[in-house]
Chain A
Amino acid sequence: SAVISQKPSRDICQRGTSLTIQCQVDSQVTMMFWYRQQPGQSLTLIATANQGSEATYESGFVIDKFPISRPNLTFSTLTVSNMSPEDSSIYLCSVENGLKGFFGPGTRLTVL
């Protein structure tokens, strides 16, 4: 299994600002995934982060809006840039271990 922690657990931000979310895993993993869950919707993959290379973004998500860092095999950050109310969501970090997905507790973001 894998234990994942995220910071912050929640935040309320003003329009136009940026927020960086941290994800820490208790073991080394090759790939880390960032998901978004908008209100009433299911989880949607934003990007896949590999250590030592640029993140791979899904259709509809761009690096300028959601820059990702992956400095080592246990840590990653996702930044939500120039926020608007439409960015209000839960953001979840995930890893794969034995082809099984494990998720962090999520960061609940509200943009005013």
Chain B
Amino acid sequence: KQEVTQIPAALSVPEGENLVLNCSFTDSAIYNLQWFRQDPGKGLTSLLLIQSSQREQTSGRLNASLDKSSGRSTLYIAASQPGDSATYLCAVRGSQGNLIFGKGTKLSVKP
């Protein structure tokens, strides 16, 4: 059974810092991995999608990497801003088509 773990559970940084969020999964047989952002009272916003054959994806200040063989992904956020404060969720898509989520990392960026 696929399990997804995110470390740390919570992170507080001053504005401007670069930071890394970690995600690990137990079964490397995935179709893709997706990073989401969840804001309080709102749904999920997709940030980056990495196909199983890819190593990384970039969007603006965000860079996500995938090492499928070791079951790991990282989300790198450059020059963090207070508006980046949210919960970041990692999810892998397995053979059944559904997404399996980690518990998330709650990020707080202090001005």
Contacts and interface: CB of A to CB of B under 8 A. Distances in A.
A and B bound? yes
Contacts of B96: 48
Interface string A77-102: 00000000000000010101001111
B57 to A, nearest CB: 11
What is the size category of the interface that chain B forms with chain A? 20 to 34
Given A42-B89, A99-B49, A105 B101 contact: no
Contact of B101 (A4, A43, A100): A43
Interface in B56-111: 89, 91, 93, 96-104
Given A33-B98, A101-B91, 9 more contacts: A43-B44, A44-B101, A45-B99, A99-B49, A100-B34, A100-B49, A101-B46, A105-B42, A106-B42
Contacts of A100: 32, 34, 46, 49
Contacts of A44: 101
B7 to A, nearest CB: 13
Given A102-B46, A104-B43, A96 B101 contact: no
Interface residues of A, number: 21
A104 to B, nearest CB: 6
